[in-house]
Amino acid sequence: MPFREDAGVTEETYETDQESTTVARVLDLIASRHSSMTKFMDSTSDEAQRHHLVVAVNSRLARLSEEVHDGDSISLLLPVIGGSKE
């Protein structure tokens, strides 16, 4: 899966001391745990971030400001370029 080799894990659990947090904050947490993932993080805007990776919360594409709640599943996906040579 995408980013598996960069992070060295296929899935992991994060805990925060708040009931909810944001996608941007989760990305910060991931980057702080896996420095190899820092190069994929750019929280200046949603579009800037999606040039590097796309975040899905419970399979729905999510913005950086979107809230994440206890039990949510977050996927890091490749920027989507479904190509064709025609």
Partner 1 sequence: MMGSIGGYAGRILHVDLSKRKQHVEGLPEGEARAYIGGSGLAAKRLWDMTGKETDPLGTENVLIFMAGALTGTRVPLSGRHEVVAKSPLTGIYGESDVGGRWGTELKKAGFDGVVITGKSAKHTYLWINESGVEFRDAEHLWGLDTYEASAILRKETDQKAIEACIGPAGERLARIAAIMHDGRDARAAGRCGLGAVMGSKNLKAIVAKGDKEVSVADGKRLSEMTKKLAPDILKSTKRLADYGTSQVVTTLEELGDLPVRNWKQGRWQEGAEKLSGPTMAKSILNGRYFCGACIIGCGRTVAVGHGEYAGVDGAGPEYETMALLGSNVLVDDLEAVAKAHELCNRLGLDVISTGAVIGFALEAAERGMIKGDLNERADLTWGNGRGIVNMVEKIGRREGLGYLLGEGVMRVSAKLGAGSEAFALHVKGLEPPGHDARAYNSLAVGYATGNRGACHLQGMSYAFERSATMPELGINEIQDRFGVVKKGELVAKTQDLMSLFDSIKLCKFLLFGGVKLTSMLEWFNAVTGWEISQAEFLKAGERIYNLKRMYNVRCGITRKDDVVPTRMLREKRGEGGSAENLPPFSEILDDYYRYRDWDQNGIPTKAKLVELGLADMTP
Binding site for partner 1 (CB under 8 A): 1-2, 5, 46-47, 50-51, 54, 56, 59-61, 63, 75, 77-86
Both tokens of residue 73?
């599943």
Nearer to partner 1, 71 or 83 (CB): 83
**41 vs 28: CA distance, rounded Å:** 8
C-beta separation of 85 from 34 below 8 A: no
Nearer to partner 1, 29 or 56 (CB): 56
Nearest approach, Cβ of residue 85 and partner 1 (Å): 5
Q: What is the DSSP string of 46-72?
A: HHHHHTT-EEEETTEE--TT-EEETT-
Nearest approach, Cβ of residue 26 and partner 1 (Å): 17
Nearest approach, Cβ of residue 73 and partner 1 (Å): 11
